[in-house]
A and B are shown apart, each in its own frame.
Chain A
Amino acid sequence: MIEQRQTKNSFLIVGLVLAACASSASAQYPTPENRPARAAESELNAEESVVTSTVAPNSAVEAALFYLFGGTLLVSALGVCVTKSVVRMATWLFGALGAAAVLYFLMGAAFLGAIQLIVYAGGTLILIVFGVMLTSKSPWVRFDCPRIEMWAAGGVVGVLFVALTTLLIGTQWPTLSAAAHPATIAEFGKELLTTYLVPFEVGSVLLLVVMIGAAHLARQEN
């Protein structure tokens, strides 16, 4: 059983890495570096035709990746719902976080995708697994929920999902430009240190306070 899950997880990780490479390769980032180079080696018309010919398969690839990893995300989220053991919940959560990171890459938020993998999958999830190990004598700790409560919660959540979906489909969304505007990390940092300087500093102070507070809360009293 455990070996099966391990192979499943390794498949998942390999898939995530492949998709991240594919999305970064398929996305057209009009960086200032590659533009002059392309213009230099080909004429303007040739460049135009290259761009137009790559647009159509690009969207097809985007759709395929969206359905693949959106499906992975939903299946992982449902896996978190149905499984009883906390360790398996954490494993399913890892799949969900990784799939969400690939979706961020797809939407052109490469920096946030990387941060998601590093901070969430690498940090928060490890913290949760440590929490599981420190707070249970056996890792398969499970507390059962009454069946009637399961049905009630499922009903509430189902109604909420149907209501949200009908609301979203019924809303007339303004037809915004679907052209990707990939934010470079340099722009991101500039924005963070000019417009959002105060929240950024407050966030750093918050992290410091949390670090001290968590260490204080979890200390061993001798």
Chain B
Amino acid sequence: MSIGLLHYLILSAGVLCCGLFVMMTKRNAIGILIGIELVLNSVNINFIAFDRYRAGGGMDGQIAALFVIVLAAAEAAVAVAICMNLYKNINTIDVDRGDALHG
């Protein structure tokens, strides 16, 4: 059986679920960031698979994937800076401890 669109979509669904699980269960802010990276990668696999197995010409999917990579890099830089600020203020990056604004 040759590899088609469905294979890539199911693979990306699996990676998405792993990323969501990481985001839900980790208490470490950097661990949550790693979960977000997994989710963004599954999105990228979807974009490129739809681009590869599409009908017409053009490369919209690949361009979208490129922008996702750019945004992921920007997001990671800001998130790491926020984590360092959190560590400076409450001396840990346990997200449950960052509840100063909790009502």
Which residues of chain A have a CB within 8 Å of any CB of chain B? Answer: 59, 62-63, 66, 70, 73-74, 77-78, 80-81, 86, 89-90, 93, 96-97, 100, 103-104, 107-109, 111-112, 115-116, 119-120, 123-124, 127-128, 130-132, 134-136, 141-145, 149-150, 153-154, 156-158, 160-161, 164-165, 168-169, 173-174, 176-178, 180-181, 183, 187-188, 191-192, 196, 199, 203, 206-207, 210-211, 213-215, 217-218
Rounded to whole angstroms, the CA-CA distance of A108 and B48 in the bound complex is 9
**Closest A residue to B77 using CB positions:** A214
Rounded to whole angstroms, the CA-CA distance of A71 and B90 in the bound complex is 40
Chain B residues with CB under 8 A of A128: 30, 33-34, 37, 76, 80
Rounded to whole angstroms, the CA-CA distance of A168 and B29 in the bound complex is 32
State whether B27 touches A119 (Cβ < 8 A).
no
- Per-residue A-contact encoding for B73-87, CB less than 8 Å = 1, 0 else: 110111011111111
Tell me whether chain B's interface is mostly helix, strand or loop, or mixed: helix
State whether A178 touches B2 (Cβ < 8 A).
yes
Classify chain B's interface size.
Answer: 35 or more
Rounded to whole angstroms, the CA-CA distance of A108 and B52 in the bound complex is 7
Chain A residues with CB under 8 A of B5: 173, 176
Pick the residue among A112, A127, A168 that contacts B80 (CB under 8 A): A127
State whether B14 touches A109 (Cβ < 8 A).
no
**A-B contacts at CB below 8 angstroms, number:** 220
**Chain B 57-103 residues near chain A, CB threshold 8 A:** 57-59, 62-63, 65-67, 69-74, 76-78, 80-87, 93-94, 96
State whether A173 touches B6 (Cβ < 8 A).
yes
